[in-house]
Amino acid sequence: MAAMGQRPEGPPPPCPSWVFSNNSDTHVAKDRCWFGKDYVPFRSYVTDLTGGVVEVIGMGTVDLATMSSPTQTGPDSHSILRLKNVLHTPAMLCNIIGRPVMEDYTVICGPTASDNAGWITKNNDGSSVAYFKPMSQGPNLYQVQLGEPPLGHQFGISPLFRNTLYMIHAFWSQRERRRFEMLKASGLIQASGVEPLTRSEKEWFRRRFMSEDSIMVAYGLDKNRWEHREEGRAIMRILKSHAENEPIVSS
């Protein structure tokens, strides 16, 4: 156990709450460890119903390990819910499954007064890949019942409290979508090296109040692991490339 006042060495455990929000036009995830190998550092933002802004720092695919049925046990009870183009938003209250999930799946929502809150099935064969937790276990939100945390991690504590009303929404503007596609088409999302930063690079980041340590924290990387430090430097160079070659996007 860490001594009082001492900061933990590694990143915090991932948020376990994945909420389906039919009004959201995008998916968002709080923690870097949810993402797969196609993760791309990218600075953007999402908004909520009140116009509040939450920073986006990346994007990628998330494969959620889920429980497919509340009545099944054994290997057949485990499944994978694949979410594409998930935005990395560390400051979001919880993880959000938005309306784009229905491109590949059917979402069936039961009445909030019932413990049979609903489930998610594949569009191609109708098989169940996930179900929602009973509403009696928390607030009246459609929360996916997860199976396992990301490899090498343990679940953190849910930020959602029972008998509390929440407005869970995330909107990603068409302008920001076009901006990402332009960056992707220009090849500016690829890493340009993981070697130590040069003096001029350090000065560039210093003027923008960024450092290797702050990037490590923001992206949930462990400063004590050399491969994480290399990833941190790669992320910094990608962000620098974006800033110096920012495309002009029409409103």
* Among 155, 135, 132, 48, residue whose Cα is nearest residue 92: 48
pLDDT band with cut points at 50, 70 and 90 for residue 97: very high
Question: Tell me: the pLDDT tens digits for 130-184?
Answer: 999 988 877 889 999 999 999 889 999 999 998 889 999 999 999 999 989 888 8
Question: Tell me: the pLDDT tens digits for 175-196?
Answer: 999 989 888 887 766 655 678 8
26 pLDDT exceeds 90? Answer: yes
CA distance 11 to 9: 7
Three-state SS at 66: strand
pLDDT of residue 120: 96
* Among 72, 59, 25, 53, residue whose Cα is nearest residue 183: 59
Distance of CA 158 to the CA centre of its chain: 15
| Contact between 35 and 88 (Cβ < 8 Å) | yes
Which pTM value belongs to this model?
0.84
Q: Name the average pLDDT for the chain.
A: 87
Q: Is 13 exposed, middle or buried (0-12, 13-18, 19+ CB in 10 A)?
A: middle
| Contact between 106 and 121 (Cβ < 8 Å) | yes
Q: Per DSSP, what are the bridge partners of residue 19?
A: 96, 143
